[in-house]
Amino acid sequence: MDNFTFFAPTYFAFGMGTENETGKYVKRFGGSKVLIHYGGGSVIRSGLLDRVKQSLEKEHLTYIELGGVKPNPRSGLVYEGIELCRNEKIDFILAVGGGSTIDSAKAIAAGVPYDGDFWDYYEGKPVENALSLGTVVTISAAGSEGSPDSVITKEEGMFKRGASGEGLRPKFTIMNPALAQTLPAYQTACGITDIMAHLYERYLTNTTEVEVTDRMIEALLLTMIHEGPRAIKDPDNYDARANIMWAGMMAHNNSCGVGRTQDWTSHEIEHELSALYDCAHGAGLAVVMPAVFKYNLKHNVMRFAQAAVRVWGCQMNFENPEETALAGIEALRQFLISIGMPKNFAELGAKEEDIEKLAHTACYGNVNTGTLGGFVELTQKDVENIYHLMV
Amino acid sequence: MDNFTFFAPTYFAFGMGTENETGKYVKRFGGSKVLIHYGGGSVIRSGLLDRVKQSLEKEHLTYIELGGVKPNPRSGLVYEGIELCRNEKIDFILAVGGGSTIDSAKAIAAGVPYDGDFWDYYEGKPVENALSLGTVVTISAAGSEGSPDSVITKEEGMFKRGASGEGLRPKFTIMNPALAQTLPAYQTACGITDIMAHLYERYLTNTTEVEVTDRMIEALLLTMIHEGPRAIKDPDNYDARANIMWAGMMAHNNSCGVGRTQDWTSHEIEHELSALYDCAHGAGLAVVMPAVFKYNLKHNVMRFAQAAVRVWGCQMNFENPEETALAGIEALRQFLISIGMPKNFAELGAKEEDIEKLAHTACYGNVNTGTLGGFVELTQKDVENIYHLMV
């Protein structure tokens, strides 16, 4: 196991009705003038935004609003939010929504006290200082509610990049699983896929002797396999939503990723797809993951075999572990199809003729300089091969 | 799943050599005049105390020392520590040692700013305010390094009680698995048993639909079963120690215990044994757990069967689940014996003639008023029956 530090100081309030305590937590964590940041109409239609506002008013907090966050959130709205916060002397940002809204709020929080262009952070500068931030989560997926990360799409060139840093951890996060009950099945499935991807990205490590984090990752994957289909079949199943919601946070607060190298190949390859075609991140990952895993299989057959046996219940073929490893990847693929995820480029709306461009942007983006991947170092040619497996 | 809040803001620095950064972390978390609290000679003999002092000196921090913490730490030394801190105007307490040292340091930290008797906290008053505290952990066991809990033995009457509260969470914790390499096998095994008990106390719940925390608990138990015997067989196995150390913290920071009722019967029944006979807490738990579980088996056969199948690899007997459930408890018992733990009253140094007294103190102690247990409500008669199963 490698040396590491771990610090996850977000306060979580979990359960029915917790959104009505939002104001209390904003106050506890020092907010007085709040920007409420959200996406489209669903938080308005469901009455959630009104309940949150009432809870702020109860604590005599003032607020302004900035809606309009889109999936794969854009830099344009971030610039607008930074300007607004500066003009209105906002001291606390409250994200009400899913990962896109939270990530957009994080970008604004980082940008407000920063003299330069906020995009610097998305080119690799660590975020140490940011405005205080709280979240009310409506979708289990990104894990951004407990993580120090944010992903934004730059409109010039339509590429997606991530920022990271302790300044981006929310001070508090409100998690009411009932808020997810109105989600369409497709979005629920996208969230499940994203959570599973966060787990696989950590599972695919070159660090040996990491049984504790292996077992924790497997535990969270097993939870998704059990609860995911239940939430999709019965959207009102509160308990299934609750298990998924806690698993989604634990999958990405990094307690199961410490002390080991991580991969993030699937995310990097997917980001180019959702940036270019504006498909859902989870849907993209469903197509990307099996292709990446098959391509990287021979790098460590036993690691994939372990997942196959422990997570997917495959019988170990001791004479031919590769067969077991492949069976595990196929089980993942079939699971993702069974919850309604796309299985190839066509279903995703991606185009074969873009592959060279996609692979080039992935490998020569702002952060990468010719290769990507923490598990196997992949060149542009490798990435092209992987995209071709998805066609 | 039940509603809950979760807040675990301790900063962890994990790995080789991290104790040399102690001073840096004391400074970061606001300490300037430090009480170093420790137990016996092992931290002196190993050179650890010197390394810690040097790291404080490097940051120009001043310190005084208070050693002498005993296993099952006593109230007497706590009173002494409180007095010392007040006289010397100490603003930071640094525990260097295992759970006993950390718990004693927590009691001092709570007592210093409190006008009344610190023991009030051990009679149920929540600890909200305490002096800042950091820890350098030398033993994986108590999980106190990441928890808001502390257990102290009151010398008048020799009984053990616990305090809890957010004020007791360490600001930072240094975890170098190599520091545990000098532990005798018996103490290593006691620690493993304690960690497994923390997991079982959470596993035995009456809350349904808690798959995510069930799976996480199972993951950590599986880690102990894999790594425990390796650390005992080869005390210098750094990786086995590292996996146990992170699992021990995760087992007790409550991320795997949220949203569910918990039991704590085994701990309450054990505390009377270690208080009266001064046996090791883990050794006591090894004798207590199988007896408690057998006694409570019929309350929820399927819960014990689930542990048997998922943790102990037992085959499910679908015609007679109780047989499977019992096989799981027997597997736990055999595992604990295999790592060198005692199996009955005689090996523990406990006496059958004390049973009535033990059961009475357990059921009518300061906190309890006639019954104990979060899984099954047990009367004094039940507790006597359980103690008799251990003879």
CB-closest option in B1, B9, B17 to A239: B1
Over the stretch B29-81, which tens digit does the pLDDT of each residue have?
A: 999 999 999 998 889 999 999 999 999 999 999 999 999 999 889 999 999 99
CA-based nearest residue in chain A for residue B244: A212
Substitution target in A211, A234, A258, A309 with the highest count of B β-carbons within 10 Å is A211
* DSSP class of A145: G
From the number of C-beta atoms within 10 Å of its C-beta (0-12, 13-18, 19+), residue B230 rates as middle
CB-closest option in B16, B223, B244 to A215: B223
Mean pLDDT over A9-33 rounds to 97
Count of CB pairs separated by less than 8 Å, A with B: 129
Contact A131, A113 (CB under 8 A): yes
Q: Please check whether residue A6 lies inside any domain of the structure.
A: no
Residue A115 one-letter amino acid:
D
Question: What pLDDT is recorded for position A329?
Answer: 98
Over the stretch A284-307, which tens digit does the pLDDT of each residue have?
A: 999 999 999 999 999 999 999 999
Tell me: do A145 and A24 sit in the same domain.
Answer: yes
Q: Does A234 touch chain B (CB under 8 A)?
A: no
Choose the final residue of a domain: B114, B147, B179.
B179
Q: Residue B66 is part of which domain span?
A: 11-179
Tell me: do A114 and A208 sit in the same domain.
Answer: no
Could B5 and A16 be called an inter-chain contact, meaning their C-beta atoms sit closer than 8 Å?
Answer: no
Residue B255 one-letter amino acid:
S
Q: How far is CA B246 from CA B30, B138, B168, in A?
A: 26, 13, 20
Tell me: do B333 and B215 sit in the same domain.
Answer: yes
Tell me: do B281 and B375 sit in the same domain.
Answer: yes
Average pLDDT, chain B: 96
Question: What pLDDT is recorded for position B243?
Answer: 98
Question: What pLDDT is recorded for position A128?
Answer: 86
Lowest mean pLDDT among A78-82, A102-106, A348-352, B368-372: B368-372
Could A223 and B212 be called an inter-chain contact, meaning their C-beta atoms sit closer than 8 Å?
Answer: yes
Could B209 and A16 be called an inter-chain contact, meaning their C-beta atoms sit closer than 8 Å?
Answer: no
Tell me: do B175 and B195 sit in the same domain.
Answer: no
Contacting residues of B for A316, CB less than 8 Å apart: none
Could A15 and B7 be called an inter-chain contact, meaning their C-beta atoms sit closer than 8 Å?
Answer: no
Q: Please check whether residue B325 lies inside any domain of the structure.
A: yes
**Matching residue, tokens 């090996």:** B347
Residue B281 one-letter amino acid:
H
Count of other CB atoms within 10 angstroms of residue A72: 21
Q: Please check whether residue B201 lies inside any domain of the structure.
A: yes
CA-based nearest residue in chain A for residue B245: A212
ipTM of this complex: 0.96
Strands (E), chain A: 4-14, 33-38, 62-66, 92-97, 132-137, 149-154, 159-164, 172-175, 371-372, 378-379
CB-closest option in B6, B12, B18 to A7: B12
* DSSP class of A74: B
Question: What pLDDT is recorded for position A22?
Answer: 98
Q: Dig out the tokens for A355 from the structure.
A: 């592959």
Contact A381, A375 (CB under 8 A): no
Mean pLDDT over A342-371 rounds to 92
Tell me: do A26 and A174 sit in the same domain.
Answer: yes
Q: Please check whether residue A35 lies inside any domain of the structure.
A: yes
Q: Please check whether residue A129 lies inside any domain of the structure.
A: yes
User: Which residues touch A11 (CB under 8 Å, ≥6 apart)?
Assistant: A25, A28, A29, A171, A172, A173, B5, B6, B7
Q: Does A215 touch chain B (CB under 8 A)?
A: yes
Backbone angles phi, psi at B121, to 5 degrees: -65, -30
**Matching residue, tokens 């998305």:** A122
Question: What pLDDT is recorded for position B366?
Answer: 61
Q: Dig out the tokens for B359 from the structure.
A: 């059961």
Mean pLDDT over A257-277 rounds to 95
CATH of the domain at B215: 1.20.1090.10
Q: Please check whether residue B302 lies inside any domain of the structure.
A: yes
CATH of the domain at A118: 3.40.50.1970
H or E segment and range at residue A201: helix A185-203
Contacting residues of B for A211, CB less than 8 Å apart: 223, 226-227, 243
Q: How far is CA A206 from CA A4, A107, A373, in A?
A: 15, 31, 11
Substitution target in B12, B175, B202, B212 with the highest count of A β-carbons within 10 Å is B212
User: Cα distance from A383 to chain B (closest Cα, Å)?
Assistant: 34
The domain tally of chain A equals: 2
Enumerate the H helices of A298-391 as residue ranges.
301-310, 321-338, 345-348, 355-364, 380-389
Substitution target in A3, A212, A224 with the highest count of B β-carbons within 10 Å is A212
Could B14 and A7 be called an inter-chain contact, meaning their C-beta atoms sit closer than 8 Å?
Answer: no
Could A220 and B215 be called an inter-chain contact, meaning their C-beta atoms sit closer than 8 Å?
Answer: yes
Over the stretch A109-161, which tens digit does the pLDDT of each residue have?
A: 999 999 999 999 999 899 989 999 999 999 988 899 999 999 999 988 877 88
Task: Give dist(CA B250, CA B258) in Å, integer.
Answer: 12
Tell me: do A85 and A157 sit in the same domain.
Answer: yes
pLDDT at A366 over 70: no
Q: Does B3 touch chain A (CB under 8 A)?
A: yes
Enumerate the H helices of chain B as residue ranges.
22-28, 42-45, 48-58, 75-88, 99-111, 185-203, 211-233, 238-250, 265-277, 281-296, 301-310, 321-338, 345-348, 355-364, 380-389
Q: Does B11 touch chain A (CB under 8 A)?
A: yes
Could B15 and A1 be called an inter-chain contact, meaning their C-beta atoms sit closer than 8 Å?
Answer: yes
Tell me: do B275 and B169 sit in the same domain.
Answer: no
Tell me: do B110 and B194 sit in the same domain.
Answer: no
Question: What pLDDT is recorded for position A365?
Answer: 77
At residue A316 the predicted structure's pLDDT band, cuts being 50, 70 and 90, is: very high
Over the stretch A180-236, which tens digit does the pLDDT of each residue have?
A: 999 999 999 999 999 999 999 999 999 999 999 999 999 999 999 999 999 999 999
**Matching residue, tokens 């790592």:** B339
Q: How far is CA B202 from CA B7, B214, B215, B260, B322, in A?
A: 17, 9, 12, 8, 21
User: Cα distance from B244 to chain A (closest Cα, Å)?
Assistant: 8
Choose the final residue of a domain: A179, A213, A231.
A179
Could A223 and B211 be called an inter-chain contact, meaning their C-beta atoms sit closer than 8 Å?
Answer: yes
Q: Dig out the tokens for B290 from the structure.
A: 């199988």
Residues in chain A: 391
User: Cα distance from A242 to chain B (closest Cα, Å)?
Assistant: 7
* DSSP class of A89: T
**Matching residue, tokens 């669903």:** A42
H or E segment and range at residue B159: strand B159-164
Tell me: do B205 and B302 sit in the same domain.
Answer: yes
Residues of chain B with pLDDT under 70: 366-367
CB-closest option in B8, B209, B247 to A8: B8
Backbone angles phi, psi at A150, to 5 degrees: -155, 140
Q: Please check whether residue B369 lies inside any domain of the structure.
A: yes
CB-closest option in B14, B211, B213 to A6: B14
Tell me: do A237 and A333 sit in the same domain.
Answer: yes
Could A250 and B208 be called an inter-chain contact, meaning their C-beta atoms sit closer than 8 Å?
Answer: no
Nearest alpha carbon to residue A81 among A67, A60, A102: A67
Tell me: do B157 and B66 sit in the same domain.
Answer: yes
Task: Give dist(CA B328, CA B307) in Å, integer.
Answer: 7
Q: Please check whether residue B3 lies inside any domain of the structure.
A: no
Contacting residues of B for A8, CB less than 8 Å apart: 8-9
Choose the final residue of a domain: B131, B162, B179.
B179
pLDDT at A238 over 70: yes
